[in-house]
Amino acid sequence: MSAYTLLSDPEQKAVEEAIGKAELRTSGEIRVHIESKCREQVLDHAAYVFTELEMEKTKDRNGVLIYLSADDRKFAIIGDVGINSKVPKDFWEATRDEMLKHFKKGDICEGLCAAIAISGEHLREYFPYESDDVDELPNEISFGK
């Protein structure tokens, strides 16, 4: 399956809107990256993509990447060092579980939107939204090969 066809156009829009909404709660920056296949260990690869997308360039190092491969249905959610230095070790677990619940039903869009909403909710505790907030990273989904 191509990364581009995993989500319909309206679904892609829904995901982007979910990111926009979540980023009104937190200064954290959330991105979604979709590829067709993940050829290595998913966490390693997500870390690679994080750097490729220059997601470490936020002021507070609070970027969050939700990585998903369409064919093998692997996914990972990772945060930058600014987040990892503040939050408990199991910080992403609830988000991951919620995402997985929807993915198991085949509902990718719901899973992504739910994960984005929960991430925003959790992040606000550590990185509240600031009135002079800048949208540091694009909310559009990024697609790999």
Which is nearer to Ca ion, 139 or 142 (by Cβ)? 139
Which is nearer to Ca ion, 14 or 100 (by Cβ)? 14
Which residues here bind Ca ion, judged by CB under 5 A?
A: 29, 133, 135, 137, 139
User: At residue 89, what is the residue type?
Assistant: K
CB of 40 to Ca ion, least distance (A): 27
CB of 29 to Ca ion, least distance (A): 5
Which is nearer to Ca ion, 111 or 120 (by Cβ)? 120
What is the C-alpha separation between 80 and 64, in angstroms, rounded? Answer: 6
- Which residues have a Cβ under 8 Å from the Cβ of 76 and sit 6 or more positions away? 42, 43, 45, 46, 65, 66, 67
